[in-house]
Amino acid sequence: MTFDFTRRSVLLGAGAALGTFVLGRSQALAQATVPLKIGFISPVSGPLAGFGETDGYILDRAREALAGGVTMNGTGYSVELLDRDTQSDPSRAGQLARELINSDGVDIMIAVSTPETINPVSDACEAAGVPCISTVMPWEAWYFGRGAKPGEPSPFTYGFHFGFGVDEFYRAYISQWDLIETNRKVGVMYPNDADGNAVRAVLAPRLVEAGYEVIDPGAYETGTQDYSQQIRIFREAGIEIFNTFPIPPDFAAFWRQAAQQGLHRQIKIVQTAKTGLFPGDIEALGTLGNNIASAAYWHRDFPYTSPVTGLNGVALCDGYEAATGRQWTQQLGASLSAIDVAMAALAAAADPKDKDGVAAAIAGLTADSIAGVVDFTTGPVPNVAHGPIIGTQWQPSEKGPHQFDYVVTENATDPNVPVVGTLVPYNA
């Protein structure tokens, strides 16, 4: 750390010495700066576009906040965010990452949403020795899915992931399902894909341990058009809780067929993941969407503030709704939290341009973000930090302006999040 007593460093040195970064907005500061480049890769178009839809707004807010440059350890930097769209294509994601590394020379990479985006980007960064921050996919699929072995040292030096895993889903579900009296019979529909197979292998056995009877008709292929077999099994078993991880069109087809068979009248909790992340998924179901329970990796009621933009959850979501006329989604906070963590990572290193130094600093990083504290020192495995999954419910809105309110119903994995709603039985 350097201590040259210019007027600027006296003013800002205190903050920088603590390893945080200070937003320098003065014109003089912006002129004498070294450029810092941050790659931001997400699926903005293609079938996963629901995840990337809000990223343009987030990037605008971050660019606005960072326009004046930042000061880290007494040096002024200008910050450039280079965003790329994977078009939901994993091979394109890897290619974009390599381009950002080789042609643009990014100092740190951010990859957001789904294994199809994050895993190829993380692999490219690991190979090229560029620090990479990622969020929004189960960490197990990121860590073990890319070749790490349980009990062995982490094979990753540059890749760091934060966010939920199967354990958070388990704790949120147990906490959520205890809110309503049921016969504890859970029907599950997990597809034959990365998420579905992971929850079948890890989550289902833990639900059984917790005293739930799990009725699993077996994996189904995404794109299946007829579900009479599964519906019959659920109906005969008399399930009162239903849990599924489908894509929205599959869930719409399944749930309508289930309702044709009268299954919806016996079910007290419909707990969906993947479908139900975004309001459009639920609106497409019509009245059948009322009171579907969901789980959120971020929510506007999270009591945290983004260090980069200075926005809290409510301000961020209100701003988004005012600017676009669309309902806020949980992806807003998740994407912004990745930028928060990446900026904190750069600031934590002695020299943000030193990639090895940054990667080493992230391993010991505890960063504030709009999604809460991200702590890489207490993660379940090296290179991974925990993130919450909060139980929620889509309740028909009484006040408007949107068709549904997304209400927090439990907070087992982050007690700081206020529980404002009560879980309503689906068939009530």
Residues that bind another protein (CB under 8 A): 45-50, 52-53, 192, 217-221, 223-226, 228-230, 232, 248-253, 255-257, 259-262, 264, 278, 280-281, 283-288
φ, ψ for residue 42 (rounded to 5)? -155, 165
Q: Measure the CA–CA gap between 20 and 367, rounded to whole angstroms.
A: 9
Residue closer to another protein, measured from CB, 103 or 225: 225
**Longest Cα–Cα distance in the chain:** 77
Three-class SS of residue 68? coil
Residue closer to another protein, measured from CB, 225 or 378: 225
Residue closer to another protein, measured from CB, 276 or 379: 276
Residue with tokens 């289902």: 204
Residue closer to another protein, measured from CB, 2 or 192: 192
| Two tokens, residue 2 | 């350097």
Q: Measure the CA–CA gap between 420 and 375, rounded to whole angstroms.
A: 27
- Minimum CB separation of residue 262 from another protein in Å reads 6
CB 178 within 8 A of CB 200: no
| Two tokens, residue 230 | 């599964």
- Minimum CB separation of residue 249 from another protein in Å reads 5
Residue closer to another protein, measured from CB, 115 or 289: 289
Q: Measure the CA–CA gap between 159 and 138, rounded to whole angstroms.
A: 15
Q: Measure the CA–CA gap between 144 and 263, rounded to whole angstroms.
A: 37
Residue closer to another protein, measured from CB, 96 or 359: 96
- Minimum CB separation of residue 387 from another protein in Å reads 23
DSSP string, 340-394: HHHHHHHHHSS-TT-HHHHHHHHHT-EEEETTEEEETTS-SSTTEEE---EEEEE
φ, ψ for residue 86 (rounded to 5)? -75, -10
- Minimum CB separation of residue 229 from another protein in Å reads 5
- Minimum CB separation of residue 376 from another protein in Å reads 32
| Two tokens, residue 399 | 């006040």
Residue closer to another protein, measured from CB, 70 or 277: 277
Whole-Å CA distances, 179 to 169, 395, 426: 16, 16, 13
Residue closer to another protein, measured from CB, 284 or 373: 284
- Minimum CB separation of residue 232 from another protein in Å reads 7
Type and span of the H or E element at 315: helix 313-324
- Minimum CB separation of residue 44 from another protein in Å reads 9
- Minimum CB separation of residue 10 from another protein in Å reads 49
Residue closer to another protein, measured from CB, 213 or 216: 216
Residue with tokens 């087992």: 412
Three-class SS of residue 261? coil
- Minimum CB separation of residue 405 from another protein in Å reads 17
Residue closer to another protein, measured from CB, 152 or 221: 221
Q: Measure the CA–CA gap between 279 and 222, rounded to whole angstroms.
A: 21
Sign, CA torsion 288/292/296/298: positive
Residue with tokens 């600027």: 8
- Minimum CB separation of residue 254 from another protein in Å reads 9
